[in-house]
Amino acid sequence: MLTRVRTDYNRLIARHEVAWELSMAALAVIYVILGFAGDAAIGPASAWLSRIEAVVTGIFVLEFGTRFAASFDRRAYLRGHWIDLVALVPTIREVRVLRLLRLLRLVRAAAGIYRAFGVPVLHRVGWHLQRVKNQIDPRTGTLLGSILLGIVLAAAAAVTLQEGPLTFDQLGESIYWAVTTLLGSGDASFVSSLGGRMVSGALIVSSLTFLAVVTGLIIGFIVDVLLKEGQGMGVAGMSGHIIVCGWSATAREVITELRADDPLREVVLLADLERGPTDSAAHFVRGDPAVSEDLERAGIRDASAAIVFPQQPGDDGDMRSILIVMAIEEMAPEVRTVVEVANPRNVAHLKRAHADEVIATSEFVAHLLARSSVHAGLVGLVMSMVSGGEGSELYRIPVPSSLTDLTAEEASQLLRRQHSAVLIAVIRDGQNVVNPPGDLRLQAGDELVVLAQSADTFRHR
């Protein structure tokens, strides 16, 4: 019973992750504002602020406690959420500055947004942030935090000794002054002695040094991201895109054709190249299309289709294509796979690997050449029907509800009148009925192959 409750609770959070993190981020901002506003408030206002702050604190305690209790790996949860625990420090002025850590919930909320809405740039930057985070030794953060804490405590102790009086209250005020000075907003009138001013100057120098280090890290991160993106070492971060697996002259033409057909269509090139082709309009991801990790970086789970090209002539190239199709089918079976086969005898093997479409280029060209030698002009006609740009092209669409139960002849007339389209074939149960008989009655679940100016004319009908 308890396991079921924990599972349902974790599923609830995962299902509403964006809304959850945005709510916690909003409360984090309120939490920090209340913490510092309470210092200036007096009388009834201070009491009300304290009550509101207690309620917000209770919400954070409840959230942290329930999620910790529901976690199946509590050590891992603590490693990933220790900042949330540190931010729930007692509400005393001297350590209230630690509540700024709670603002890191804003970063977590932003991460949830780019995961949910699939903004490519945010997704790529987030992936690089995670990559850098994984490369950093966790002890580095602890060391830097210990150094900053040591500077604050040493400065506070020195100022208390210089300025007096030697009381715990004064030490707390000195700690608060040291932290705010380190952040660049300290009260200059807090110290008056020569020693106090020297400590204040040392804190200011430390603050500038810290700022320079942070700025350098940010610039270094930006340069690293640009270099990695140029080398294809990032991620696609897209959704509904088409992945072109492998690079060749044909792949270049396919990418050009895809962009000409729809300039807004997102295309990802996944190939083992040193750098992305300069004449390609696709986003380049360097990797092996047969490797799961590289397919993951290309966004295979969110893609709409994948086009696979043989990288070697003959059977070796086709065997490699079979491995790529099998990897895609294992990770994302709903993604449509279109494969160019080098040897027509391997079509059956690719079909057994569950490739959706297999094109034997040599056979297709042979058939087209043979027909064109007898019937002049067929090459230009076929090229016009299958290429994007201006004019009418072939489209495969689900049968519109308005055409269900009509005969092919009635449907052809309606398509011509309402959509300026020509019915070429009916696809039923995987079988193509080209130039369908006039008395063939269309059914729900059928698909139509039509010649039309655009597929958009069939939408919202």
Q: Give tens-digit pLDDT for 270-288.
A: 998 888 786 667 889 999 9
Q: Each residue of 66-76: b (16+ CB within 10 Å) or e? A: ebeebbeeeee
Q: For residue 387, what are its two tokens?
A: 């290429």
Tokens 């190239």 correspond to what residue? 317
Q: Which two tokens stand for residue 10?
A: 């974790």
- Most confident by average pLDDT, 103-107, 362-366, 428-432, 444-448: 444-448
| In the chain, % of residues over pLDDT 90 | 16
Can you list the alpha helix ranges (DSSP code H) found in 275-403? 292-297, 314-331, 347-352, 361-374, 378-386
DSSP 346: G
More confident: 391 or 50: 50
How far apart, in whole angstroms, are the C-alpha atoms of residue 29 and residue 105?
A: 9
For residue 173, CA distances in Å to 34, 155, 222, 247, 274 come to: 19, 12, 39, 65, 58
**Which residues, in sequence order, are bridge partners of residue 358?**
339
93 pLDDT more than 90 = no
- Please determine, for residue 436, whether its predicted confidence score (pLDDT) is greater than 60: yes
Instruction: Write down the domain spans for the chain.
Output: 1-118, 136-230, 242-363, 392-458
Q: What is the pLDDT of residue 331?
A: 93
Contact 387, 393 (CB under 8 A): yes
Higher pLDDT, 424 or 92: 424
Instruction: Tell which wins on pLDDT, 112 or 332.
Output: 332
Instruction: Check whether the bond before 165 is cis (ω within 30° of 0).
Output: yes
Question: In terms of DSSP bridges, do strands 422-428 and 431-434 run parallel, antiparallel, or are they unpaired?
Answer: antiparallel
Q: Are 269 and 255 in contact (CB under 8 A)?
A: yes
Span of 141-145, 164-168, 404-408 with lowest mean pLDDT: 141-145
- Residue of 411 and 140 predicted with greater confidence: 411
Select the CATH number that applies to the domain covering 242-363 from these four: 3.20.20.140, 3.40.190.10, 3.40.1280.10, 3.40.50.720. Answer: 3.40.50.720
Note the Cα 59 to chain centre separation in Å: 30
The CATH number assigned to the domain with range 392-458 reads 3.30.70.1450
- Rg (Cα) of the chain, in Å, rounded? 32
Report pLDDT for 94.
47
Fold observed for domain 136-230: Helix Hairpins (1.10.287)
